[in-house]
Each structure stands twice: as C-alpha cells, then as structure tokens.
Amino acid sequence: MEKLLGVLWAYRTTKHIPTGKTPFLLAYGTKAIIYVDICMPTVRTLEIDQSHNATQLCLKLDQLEQQRREAQIRIISYQQQIKASYRKVKPRKFQVGDLSLKWVIQSTKERNAGKFGPN
C-alpha cells in the first residue's frame, strides 16, 4: 500500500506504446514536473516567466483535444497491427460434448481425472 502512489506516478508519467504519449500529458496537456525539480533549482524551473507560462499553458490546453485525437488514431493503428499479427491463429469453436486436452497440475488418483477427463 505504501508504494502504490509511486507506482501510479510512474505509470502516469511513462510513455505508452499505443498512444505514444503519457497519460499525464493526455489529461493535463503538459509534461509532469517532479517535486524534486521544483525544490532544487534547475534550468527548466529557473527560466520560467510566470506570465509567459500562463499563456503557454492556455495554448497547450487548446491543443489538447488535437493531441487526444492523434492518440486515438494511433491506438486504432496499433490495434490493427496487433490484429494483423494474429491472423495466423485459427479460430476454434467448441460444442458441448467435444473432447479436448486438459492440463492436470497435480496428480490425482481419481478415475478419468487425466487429460481426457470431462471438463
């Protein structure tokens, strides 16, 4: 439970393959700044002009819908690629009463409990 917030932060600030963007960026329209970057002065935090920063944030929020649409298009493309990679898999339909192999993890002494037993 203690590590949940750190895991969630890592998940939200890591780029995902289907979207190509971080969930934080898609939600708020900007990259996340780590708390350490705010406490310890860095080039990224020292050179911020607050009035210019506010106008830039407003512009990024206006572009947020476009970024979300691009992410949605990328997700659809990714799903089509995954679907194409599974075309070699043949679909199987089973009916009641069909025989199938069954994986038995533990050995049992019951009769018909092997791989050909009823599921």
Q: What does the pLDDT read at residue 47? A: 73
Residue carrying structure tokens 């939600």 = 27
Taking the mean position of all CA atoms in its chain, how far away is CA 77?
Answer: 15
**Pick the residue with more confidence: 74 or 31?**
74
pLDDT averaged over the chain? 80
Of the two residues 20 and 114, the one the predictor is more confident about is 20
| pLDDT of 75 higher than 90 | yes
Mean pLDDT of the region 73-100:
88
* Full-model pTM: 0.53
Taking 80 as the threshold, does the pLDDT of residue 84 lie above it?
Answer: yes
Q: Check residue 115 and give its pLDDT.
A: 63
Confidence of residue 46 (pLDDT cuts 50, 70, 90): confident
- pLDDT (0 to 100) of residue 8: 87
**50 pLDDT higher than 80:** no
As a whole number of angstroms, the distance between CA 95 and CA 88 comes to 23
Mean pLDDT of 4-32: 87
pLDDT, residue 72, reads 93
Q: How far is CA 41 from CA 9, 50, 99, in A?
A: 22, 15, 68
Give the pLDDT score at 80: 92
The candidate with the shortest Cα–Cα distance to 31, out of 13, 43, 16, is 13
Q: Which residues contact 79 (CB under 8 A, 6 or more apart)?
A: 18
